Amino acid sequence: MRVLAIDTSNDICSVAISEDGKIIDELHNEGEREHSQTLMPMIDEILRRNNLKLDDIDLLGCGTGPGSFTGIRIGIATVKAFNDAKKIPIVGVDALETQSYLAVMEKGNEDCKIISMIDARNDNAYFGIYRLHNGNLSIYKNPGIAMISNIAGYVNFQENVYVVGDVAMDRIESYLKAEMSEENAQAKDTKKYEFVQIKHTFAEAISLIAINKYDRGLYGASNSINPMYLNLSQAEKQKQGITDENIYVNEMSDGDREEIKRNYDKFINLWDLKTFEEDTKNSKYYVAKQNNIVIGFISLKTILDEIDIINVVTRVDMRNRGAASSLISYVIRELPAKKINLEVDDKNENAKRLYSKFGFRKVGIRKEYYDGQDDAILMSL
């Protein structure tokens, strides 16, 4: 598969071509204000010097930010136009995942965790935490924005921890040391942490990430790719009724359960209220809350050293806020298990995409499992 990847999310505009998982060429040009003038000539040049035309490209990869608002839109508009004209599928890759993959390119395939950060000013950072395990890179803590002082608390040091991004090491190092000291105080063996300097361009990483995402079905047409905004505008917050964007997860309390029951018509899922009440007696439940309102819940069972996720439900009038991602991320980070299993309706494309993003892989299928009609896909992490 031949991939054309572009990134215009930061000061360096970059273009790369990979073929069958190997980068064959790369171009980059510094100067954000020139992206609109330089991107198309760069694409023309990289195609020309490799004796290729746009018709020879099988997949498009594009950086989606966070980053420069204008820059991101230049890149996305370009791949959208290519898709509209040539019907080449598109994969969007956010800058935090791109940086984590660049760290892997530098440090190799050893199991590790990666803190990827982009400076958001005022001692805040856009960040995501990723895990490389058995050669597979997946989300460990879903992307968000937080005080730099709080980011280290989302990671443990049972594996090497690499830090990558434009946030200077001295702004987070004291917090990393404190977290490591706390783990040592609990008699845990800890690994090292290290700040990784990036040597390759974003487009190079995107060209390789895009293939992996394509293989997992994470691609689409021009309407499938949009800029990644982790900090909503004030107008959008008001529209969604959000006064505090932070979502926090905790074990379900009696009060949380009663709140869910009172609003159960808003938690649309396969279970009726009676089934939900019975399951709360036999399963462990965690809730995602925003502004002290339950906006989602997850139920699971622990069998020996494995966790089976039974149900993930978000409140329908508060969707697209990251409740499901927060719940899954919490289970992966906070609950010890050698393996996490779940099943999902084969027709639920959004759910399958979400689980794939966190590294879940298809391991089996149950034919006509849902109401004797839809297949259940078995996935494990």
pLDDT at 245 (0 to 100)? 56
By the 10 Å C-beta count (0-12 exposed, 13-18 middle, 19+ buried), 28 is classed as middle
- Please give the average per-residue pLDDT across 342-351, as a whole number: 93
- For residues 372 and 272, membership in a common domain is answered with yes
Nearest to 96 by CA among 76, 125, 59, 123: 125
195, 211, 244: which is the final residue of a domain?
195
> pTM value?
0.84
Question: How many structural domains is the chain composed of?
Answer: 3
Mind listing the pLDDT tens digit for each residue in 276-295? 999 999 999 999 999 899 99
Verify that 102 and 249 share a domain, yes or no.
no
pLDDT classification of 320: cutoffs 50, 70, 90: confident
pLDDT of residue 106: 95
What pLDDT, in 10s, does the model give residues 164-220?
999 999 999 999 999 999 999 888 889 999 999 999 999 999 999 999 999 988 899
Tell me what pLDDT residue 242 has: 42
pLDDT at 235: 46
Alpha-carbon distance 277 to 56, whole Å? 56
Q: Are residues 164 and 272 in the same domain?
A: no
pLDDT for the residue numbered 131: 95
10 and 139 fall within a common domain: no
Query: Domain for residue 229, yes or no?
Result: no
Q: Percentage of residues in the chain with pLDDT exceeding 90?
A: 79
Is 303 contained in some domain? yes
Task: Give the model's pLDDT for residue 153.
Answer: 93
Q: What is the pLDDT of residue 246?
A: 79
Same domain, yes or no, for 271 and 140?
no
Residues 258, 215 share a domain:
no
**Digit-coded pLDDT (tens) for 4-14:** 999 999 989 99
Residue 375 lies in a domain: yes
Tell me the Ramachandran region of residue 163: left when phi exceeds 0, alpha when psi lies from -120 to 50, beta otherwise: beta
State whether residue 179 is helix, strand or coil. Answer: helix
15 and 85 belong to one structural domain? yes
- Its domain, for residue 67, covers 2-94+200-224
Mean pLDDT of the chain, nearest integer: 92
What CATH number is given to the structural domain containing 277?
3.40.630.30
**Residue 114: predicted pLDDT:** 98
CATH number for the domain spanning 218: value is 3.30.420.40
Same structural domain for residues 214 and 266?
A: no
Is 80 exceeded by the pLDDT of residue 31? no
pLDDT higher for 135 or 113? 113
pLDDT mean over 328-348: 94
Residue 8: predicted pLDDT: 95
Residue 62 CA to residue 55 CA, distance in Å, equals 17
For residue 153, being part of any structural domain is answered with yes
DSSP 220: B
Decide if 83 is inside a domain: yes
Q: Is residue 231 part of a domain?
A: no
Specify the 3-state DSSP secondary structure of 187: coil
- pLDDT at position 33 is 55
Residues 253 and 361 in one domain: yes
The answer to whether position 142 is within a domain reads: yes
Residue 188 is assigned to a structural domain of this protein: yes
Residue 139 is part of a domain; what is its CATH number?
3.30.420.200
Q: How many CB atoms lie within 10 A of CB 265?
A: 8
Which regions of the chain does DSSP assign to beta strands (E)? Answer: 2-7, 12-19, 22-30, 59-63, 90-93, 112-121, 124-133, 136-147, 160-165, 193-195, 248-251, 284-290, 293-303, 306-314, 339-345, 361-370, 374-380
Least trusted range by pLDDT, from 19-33, 219-233, 251-265, 342-356: 219-233
At 221-261, the pLDDT tens digits run: 999 999 987 765 444 444 544 444 578 999 999 999 999 99
The answer to whether residues 249 and 210 belong to one domain is no
Q: What is the CA radius of gyration of the chain?
A: 22
**Are residues 45 and 160 located together in one domain of the fold?**
no
pLDDT of residue 238: 47
- Note whether 59 and 189 are same-domain residues: no
